[in-house]
């Protein structure tokens, strides 16, 4: 069974969380909410406009640790087919 949760994090612009601190807080809060509602036997799909990049992203000039706690606690179900992405947990 699945439950779904969406969120829209701060944009990460110079005037809105350029260092990622707000988005790290938002990630922690999202995880807290999601995990508090997850019932045994359920998987949670959460997403939306999280305005972040994966911790192993090749992007430069952006904080890569915004979602680190989420990647450590949960699984990304589809990050694409790129061999350069080590977390390939694609669903069949």
pTM for this entry: 0.74
Q: Is residue 7 part of a domain?
A: yes
Of the pLDDT bands very low, low, confident and very high (cuts 50, 70, 90), residue 77 is low
Question: In terms of C-beta density within 10 A (0-12 exposed, 13-18 middle, 19 or more buried), how is residue 26 classed?
Answer: buried
Residue 79 in domain: no
Q: What number is the average pLDDT over the span 54-80? A: 78
The reply to whether 38 falls in a domain is yes
- Residue 87 included in any domain: no
CA 39 to chain centre: 20
Q: Is residue 34 part of a domain?
A: yes
Owning domain of residue 17: 2-73
pLDDT at 90: 46
How many domains is the chain partitioned into structurally? 1
Using one digit for the tens of pLDDT, what is the confidence trace for 17-58? 999 999 999 999 999 998 898 899 988 887 888 888 888 778
Question: Do the domain assignments include residue 40?
Answer: yes
């Amino acid at each position: 069974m699945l439950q779904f949760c969406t969120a829209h994090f701060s944009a990460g612009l110079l005037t809105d969380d350029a260092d990622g601190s707000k988005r790290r807080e938002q990630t922690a809060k999202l995880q807290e909410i999601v995990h508090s509602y997850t019932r045994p036997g359920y998987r949670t799909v959460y997403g939306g406009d999280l305005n972040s990049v994966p911790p192993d992203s090749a992007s430069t000039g952006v904080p890569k640790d915004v979602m680190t706690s989420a990647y450590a606690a949960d699984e990304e179900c589809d990050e694409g087919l790129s061999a350069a992405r080590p977390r390939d947990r694609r669903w069949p």
